[in-house]
Amino acid sequence: MLRVVVVDSPEHAGRLAGDAVAAVVGRVQRPVLGLATGSSPWPVYDELARRVDDSSLSLAQTRAFLLDEYLGLASEDPRSYRAEIEREVVGRTDLPIAAVRGLDGEAADVDAECRAYERSIRDAGGIELQVLGVGTDGHIGFNETGSPLDSRTRPMELAARTRQDNARFFDGDVEQVPTHCLTQGIATILEARELVLLAFGQSKAEAIRQAVEGSVSERWPVTALQRHPNATLLVDRAAASLLEGADSTA
């Protein structure tokens, strides 16, 4: 079931997502989280840092898998997703760095890396809660338009619009944005037992409309969330503005 919660602010979404993480951490002995990058999850990571700081939450027993990674960036490159999670989460909470597994953007054999990644997730018992953002074109992870709904972790070519959207993390220079990536597949993402997707701002409104009201199709990968038994969209009013009857609030 897809739940839509219209929040007052990104901070509000961060608190609700923080509650969801805390519930998992309280319930499961060795919790496994799926962590996303891009700016939308930042309020969640701010909230986790705040809770760890005031000792109301500990991620010391938690393991984490990243959603995706640019190909060709070293993990030490500050623009790699690995580096972002180390900065935003590991550096500000008690999540052990050794408990974070990301896709290796410099793997010599990318197909072997993707297979090994799927195995690692399975061996960890699967992902309990996956945090997600969404691209303006409806991509999740880096599953661009046309990604099969049964896709698994694999290399992908980035869409021109995604590179343009993400150029802000590369000094505004689209030429610096890698052309390829590794990403968990849509089927991989849907296997997480709970999904929490955050979207803020008018630029996400069409993707959110498709996610909720569109028919499930590869054209808008985010529509796959309709097939998940426990998925929540945390969206601000602007991102919810194209939804019919967009008046449900938390």
Residues with catalytic function = 68, 137, 139, 144
Toward ligand GLP, which CB reaches closer, 28 or 162? 162
CB of 70 to ligand GLP, least distance (A): 9
CB of 137 to ligand GLP, least distance (A): 9
CA angle 93/232/83 to nearest 5° reads: 35
* Count of residues engaged in binding ligand GLP, rule: CB under 6 A: 14
Tell whether residue 142 is a contact of ligand GLP (CB under 6 A): yes
CA angle 236/231/97 to nearest 5° reads: 90
Cβ(99)–Cβ(62) below 8 Å: yes
Tell whether residue 236 is a contact of ligand GLP (CB under 6 A): no
CB of 152 to ligand GLP, least distance (A): 17
Tell whether residue 40 is a contact of ligand GLP (CB under 6 A): yes
Tell whether residue 38 is a contact of ligand GLP (CB under 6 A): yes
Toward ligand GLP, which CB reaches closer, 79 or 219? 79
Q: Binding ligand GLP by CB under 6 A: which of 39, 58, 61, 217?
A: 39
In this structure, what DSSP letter does residue 192 have? Answer: S
CA distance 196 to 16: 10
CB-CB neighbours of 6 under 10 Å:
20
Kindly identify the residues of this chain, within the stretch 47-76, that bind ligand GLP according to CB under 6 A.
67-68
Tell whether residue 151 is a contact of ligand GLP (CB under 6 A): no
Kindly identify the residues of this chain, within the stretch 181-210, that bind ligand GLP according to CB under 6 A.
none
3-state secondary structure of 157: strand
Tell whether residue 162 is a contact of ligand GLP (CB under 6 A): yes
User: Strands 154-157, 180-183: parallel, antiparallel or unpaired by DSSP?
Assistant: antiparallel
CB of 134 to ligand GLP, least distance (A): 5
Residue with tokens 């992902």: 127
CB of 55 to ligand GLP, least distance (A): 29
Toward ligand GLP, which CB reaches closer, 49 or 54? 49
The residues that touch ligand GLP, with contacts defined as CB under 6 A, are 36-40, 67-68, 133-135, 141-142, 162, 166
